[in-house]
């Protein structure tokens, strides 16, 4: 069985040292269902986590300054627009208008001093080409 390497399926995001404990997040561009969005990765409680930069309440970006997502106590991710508050460990809304939902997670792994993110069926790199739609079928075509 071939050995799996993190870079085989993952896309290098940054060096591990770039994400300091409860420090600024790293912003990166993705596409969800073909639409361009921003995502972010941050280190909280020693673990790197990543989410789409979208509030559950209203689809606005969460950060109050670029890369600044955590509250003053550095315990929660807070939406700068409406104050919805999320647990950084699992993205669960813990207070405010976000209800009982969760932020959309982006899979990340930290391996050998580097952080990689892993595209999914729905969340793709911003540079992916989106295939053209097939041409419309001719109504007179018997196929």
Is it the case that residue 102 has pLDDT exceeding 90?
Answer: yes
- At 17 the pLDDT is 96
Is it the case that residue 115 has pLDDT exceeding 50?
Answer: yes
Per-residue DSSP letters for 21-50? BT-PPEEEEEEETTEEEEEEEEEETTEEEE
Is it the case that residue 7 has pLDDT exceeding 70?
Answer: no
Q: What is the β-pairing status of strands 47-52 and 77-78?
A: unpaired
Distance CA 57, CA 101 (A): 9
Which strands, in side-by-side order, build the sheet including 123-125? 47-52, 35-44, 26-32, 123-125
Domains of the chain: 7-119 (2.102.10.10)
Contact 98, 56 (CB under 8 A): yes
Top-confidence residue, 132 or 87: 87
Count of CB atoms situated within 10 Å of the CB of 31: 17
Contact 22, 44 (CB under 8 A): yes
Distance CA 21, CA 30 (A): 24
Distance CA 114, CA 32 (A): 24
Condensed to tens digits (0 to 9), the pLDDT of residues 48-65 reads 999 999 998 888 999 999
- At 130 the pLDDT is 43
Is it the case that residue 99 has pLDDT exceeding 50?
Answer: yes
Is it the case that residue 138 has pLDDT exceeding 80?
Answer: no
């Amino acid at each position: 069985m071939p050995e799996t390497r993190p870079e085989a399926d993952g896309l290098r995001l940054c060096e591990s040292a770039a994400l300091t404990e409860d420090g600024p997040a790293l912003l990166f561009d993705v596409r969800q269902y073909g639409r361009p969005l921003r995502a972010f990765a941050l280190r909280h409680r020693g673990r790197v986590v990543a989410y789409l930069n979208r509030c559950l309440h209203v689809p606005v970006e969460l950060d109050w300054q670029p890369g600044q997502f955590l509250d003053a106590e550095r315990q929660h991710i807070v939406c700068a627009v409406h104050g919805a508050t999320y647990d950084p460990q699992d993205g669960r809304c813990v207070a405010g208008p976000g209800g009982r939902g969760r932020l959309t997670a982006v899979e990340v792994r930290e391996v050998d001093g580097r952080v990689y993110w892993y595209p999914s069926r729905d969340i793709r790199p911003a540079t992916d080409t989106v295939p053209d739609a097939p041409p419309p079928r001719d109504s007179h075509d018997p196929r």
